[in-house]
Structure 1
Amino acid sequence: MVKLEEIKISISERLEKLISGAVVIVLGAALLLIPHEEILLKIGVPLSGVLRESWHILLEASPYILFGLFISGIIEIFINKEKIARHLGPNKFKSVIYASLFGIPLPLCSCSVVPTAISLRKQGASKGATMAFLISTPETGVDSIAITYALMDPIITFFRPITSFITGTVGGIMENILLTKEEKIPAHIERMHGHEEELGVPESAGHGFLAKIKYGMKYAFVDLTDDIALWLVLGIAAAGVITYLIPDTFIIDYFGSGWKAMFMMLIMGVPLYICASASTPIAAALIAKGISPGAALVFLMVGPATNTATIIMVTKFLGKKSAVIYLLSITVCTLLMGFVLNYLYQFCGINPKAVIGKAGEIVPHSLEIVSSIALILLMVLVKTNTLKRP
């Protein structure tokens, strides 16, 4: 039975590698055709328009994505999982605060964070701290914060990690208050493993400074790039579709800019699987089409933090009651922070559409082009190597 399950998982993983690799390679190649106007004219106006808009988004985001990946690698070098676990133990309030803070810079998506949380739980992290880590980590990371600054504005860039901290802290505290009994990890979860479980430099990487740097850069520009490449490309492509095909007044006409738009983003985001980096270009495109910053924030937080697979994993890992706390903490806190963000823009008299993406304009155009080509080639190379692996 176990062997059959392993075969199924192996086939599923192989199929996922093939699909994600093919998508990244095809879309990456398509984006590289953008400078050739004669080719664009041959493939039709709508498709060429979408590709052109996607290219412009990629130009603005690429320098910040590469910078975010680099910083992620540096953070990985200095992380010590055992020290983190010690801070997430007995003191229920402090451990929740620490867990929320530790989770903010880590570039882990909602599915890959579960094995990491299980590992921390095995080493003594409280249920509340584990809950806080599970919530705050996928909502943001240094890579997604960098892209947010490039494609959006400083206010949303600041609000994103703050909202991540608040949702994680509230979820962890509610877990400690409502579920005081510390239960053992179920046997089937105890045996669970994953490559994302490792935080920091493993023993096999070596102890020298250069060995650690090499490991950190490999983590950033191979492992992490492999994890986010597909979703990043799809996110940029989706943003290109929204920018080119959706009329400027469509969202305002049908959904408005207040609570209705926020709940629409909530309904879209909860079941959707999308990483924090990939959600950013989509949210930026939606703001450019008239959606409120608060509604965009709801999508930015809920999309990466929740999806059907993660909810099932949290239910198995922490229990049904914890899964309810997990969902309510994310949705309620994010909606409240969305209202606060909208009020801040109104109070300051700022037009979101006027300031969106202005930070990206400070980067020289030549650097944007080099960064975009480098990022595409990096993603294609990483995915090609992934396809070659058994």
Structure 2
Amino acid sequence: MEIAIQYFKEVWEILLEASPYVLFGFFVAGLLKGFLPADFVARHLGNNKKGAVVKASMFGVPLPLCSCGVIPAAAGLRQQGASKGATTSFMISTPETGVDSIAITYALLDPIMTIVRPVAAFISALTAGTLVDAFPEKPKQGKVAFTPLNFAPTTLKKEEACTSGCCSSKPAGKTFKDKFTVGMQFAFGELVADIGKWLLIGILIAAVVSTFLPVTFFQDYVGDGLLSMILMVFIGVPMYVCATASTPIAAALALKGLSPGGALVFLLAGPATNAATITVVAQTLGKRVAFIYVTSIAVTSVILGLAVNWVYAKLGLSVFAWINDVETHQHGFVAYAATIILLFLVGRQFVGRSGHQHSESCGCH
């Protein structure tokens, strides 16, 4: 009973710390949805334009697309003429981070990691895209066609087409009120439906780590160097976890002795890859691209992880100390109110509607 009580205390503490920042992230994501032109990314990345890999890596960083939504969106870019490299870059930087995950990174990790995470996502995406274009393969016939307007596979039946927020193409209207309304409906409706469940799962897993894993686990059994990062690669690559949900898990692992670099490896490799995504990449872009896709993420994340460890050591900083200090401070009214609102928004997706089914139709697992 004491262990169960401790576990639910950990869940509640993580919710209190994360909820205000998650809601803020959703709000900013809604602004992007409402006020960013629907064809903005496609106009800059279509037709194999010069510098498209750089733009694709950059555009993907703030976008609040989950890993289920980035696949049809990237396929739509490819249909409009984007190179395989630009498409690959977009598929990596987009799920690795976003405005919502950046906000929760500040809440659960530290300011350094908040800056490093999007920069690392850009570098890993840029590296993969550049390598893909540097080692092209002959295009194969018989690929599945994708419509560029709604980013849904044309081979899907109408009732099977992607309808979740990550793939939504609902027009935002012309007036400020219309755009704001559409953006907020997307953020606190469709986007919550897409990642809310996974966020709670991530928090539940993080609480398991906090409750049952010894404080010195990584120092005693793995170490804080290269071995721990390789372990994070093997855990993160096949695992389905979105950028927001991966953050509380990484924070819990850091409290058990995982180095900042190891945490970064998990934050990059986990959201960017999973078994389903790798399969789709191989089918739509080719096996060579899929190999470069996975290998570049693994290698780049480890190199960046080593660099992050060096930075923390040079600055004399400790992510463990920061997270531990955050957990010990008292939460105010805003934290409690935000937690209740977030639980309500996520909970209503499971009451009186089949919110989880439309995510599955988009390829979420």
> Normalising to structure 2: TM-score of the pair?
0.88
| 1:12 paired residue number | none
| 1:119 paired residue number | 76
2:149 corresponds to 1:149: no
| Structure 2 unaligned regions, length at least 5 | 147-152, 156-160, 358-365
How far apart in 2 are the matches of 1:200 and 1:389? 15
How far apart in 2 are the matches of 1:196 and 1:163? 28
Which structure has greater helix proportion?
Answer: 1
Change (3 A) 1:373 1:196: closer
2:30 to 69, 73, 83: 73
How far apart in 2 are the matches of 1:59 and 1:198? 26
Say which SS state the counterpart of residue 239 (structure 2) adopts: coil
Say which SS state the counterpart of residue 216 (structure 1) adopts: helix
Q: Does the 8 Å contact 1:72/1:106 carry over to 2? A: yes
Which deviates more from structure 2 when the two are superposed, residues 114-123 or residues 333-342? 114-123
| Structure 1 unaligned regions, length at least 5 | 1-43
The C-alpha deviation readout for 1:264-302, integer Å capped at 9, x for no partner, is: 111100110000000000100111111100001000110
Q: Does the 8 Å contact 2:56/2:86 carry over to 1? A: yes
Letter in 2 for 1:245: F
The C-alpha deviation readout for 1:227-264, integer Å capped at 9, x for no partner, is: 11111111111111111111111221111110111011
2:181 to 190, 214, 217: 214
Q: Does the 8 Å contact 1:283/1:296 carry over to 2? A: yes
Identity %: 45
> Normalising to structure 1: TM-score of the pair?
0.83
How far apart in 2 are the matches of 1:318 and 1:144? 27
Matches within 5 A, 1:167-186: 167-179=124-136, 186=143
Q: How far has the Cα of 1:328 moved from its partner?
A: 1.4
The C-alpha deviation readout for 1:298-334, integer Å capped at 9, x for no partner, is: 0011000100000001111101011011111211111
Q: How far has the Cα of 1:368 moved from its partner?
A: 0.5
Change (3 A) 1:359 1:100: farther
2:245 corresponds to 1:278: yes
Q: How far has the Cα of 1:198 moved from its partner?
A: 7.2
| 1:242 paired residue number | 209
How far apart in 1 are the matches of 2:79 and 2:330? 45
| 1:256 paired residue number | 223
1:163 to 103, 120, 128: 120
Q: How far has the Cα of 1:89 moved from its partner?
A: 3.3
Which deviates more from structure 2 when the two are superposed, residues 297-306 or residues 111-120? 111-120
| 1:22 paired residue number | none
Q: Does the 8 Å contact 1:229/1:379 carry over to 2? A: yes
Change (3 A) 1:105 1:363: farther
How far apart in 1 are the matches of 2:167 and 2:307? 34
| 1:290 paired residue number | 257
| 2:88 paired residue number | 131
Say which SS state the counterpart of residue 174 (structure 2) adopts: coil
How far apart in 2 are the matches of 1:57 and 1:198? 25
Which has the higher Rg, Structure 1 or Structure 2?
A: 1
How far apart in 1 are the matches of 2:133 and 2:197? 37
How far apart in 1 are the matches of 2:270 and 2:110? 19
1:191 to 140, 154, 157: 154
RMSD: 2.3
Q: How far has the Cα of 1:219 moved from its partner?
A: 0.5
Aligned length: 346
